Structure 1
Amino acid sequence: RMTTKMKEKFDKYWTFCNILMAIASILNPRIKLSLTNFVFSKTFSQIEEIEDHMTLVRNIMQDLHNNYVAKIEGFN
């Protein structure tokens, strides 16, 4: 029972770290999405998990882009 709670907590925080590292690698022009897709495929065993995390990263990147565009348009 205690190990289950520890595993849940570990997964929660590790997933957050994975997302941050994915965003950082995507912002690197040499790497983009290729490394993120590779790492997620090695980290997660289920295809659905990989797709869910890739979708989450894409949505976060889209939100960042939309916020950037809104701020730039506000200056013009």
Structure 2
Amino acid sequence: MIKEVLVLKESLKRYVDGSTMAGPSPMEWKHAEDMVGFLEPFLDATKTFSNVRKPSSHIYIKEVWTIRRLLLDEKHRDSAILQNLALQMQKKFKKYWKNPNLILTLATIFDPRYKLMFLTFCFKKAYGEGYEASAKVEYIRNWLKRYYKEYERASARMGWASSVGSS
């Protein structure tokens, strides 16, 4: 909504100038422009994940990583409003990132562009080089192994065993 108001900024200024109403100050217009610039990637991520005509689960980590990078970006430190907003959002993001969605994380790994190396990179950046990042990656790796073993058993029951072992 703010974005649409900014498109009509000049018209609104002329309307306010011709009436007795008080309009936004130049500083308020600047805050609105900064807010739109800051929130635009969040809108893009929301549109990506809510798109029902195109699968998006494979880019889950990439989109979450983009949001993380935006929240940590230093250029928002110039505006007190954006800095406060970013800090509040970082708290919620850290809570969310503590236990990322397993299924969507796996979908990212199955995308040939990302694989487990990308996830390892992201986890090491987010959690540091220590135990927590390694433990999360290892949990995902073990889950994949268990899933594959189950797939192998199901394939053998269905008579597909000859094609499973060859890959």
Shorter-chain TM-score above 0.5: yes
Q: Which residue of 1 aligns with 2:149?
A: 66
Give distance in 1, aligned partners of 2:98 and 2:127: 12
Aligned equivalent of 2:48: none
Look up the match of 2:134.
51
SS in 1 for 2:148: helix
Per the alignment, residue 121 of structure 2 pairs with 38
Distance 1:59 1:36 in 2: 14
Identify unmatched segments of 5+ residues in structure 1: 1-6
Q: Which runs of 5+ in 2 are unaligned?
A: 1-91, 160-167
Which protein shows a greater Rg? 2
Q: Which residue of 2 aligns with 1:25?
A: 108
How many residues align? The count is: 66
In structure 2, relative to structure 1, the CA distance for the partners of 1:52 and 1:33 (3 Å cut) is same
Question: Amino acid of the residue matched to residue 113 of structure 2?
Answer: R
Q: Give the letter for the 1:58 counterpart.
A: R
- Which protein has the bigger helix share? 1
Match for residue 99 of structure 2? 15
Question: Match for residue 75 of structure 2?
Answer: none
Greater relative contact order: 1 or 2 (C-alpha under 8 angstroms, separation 6 or more)? Answer: 1
Give % identity.
21
Q: Which moved more, 1:19-28 or 1:43-52?
A: 19-28
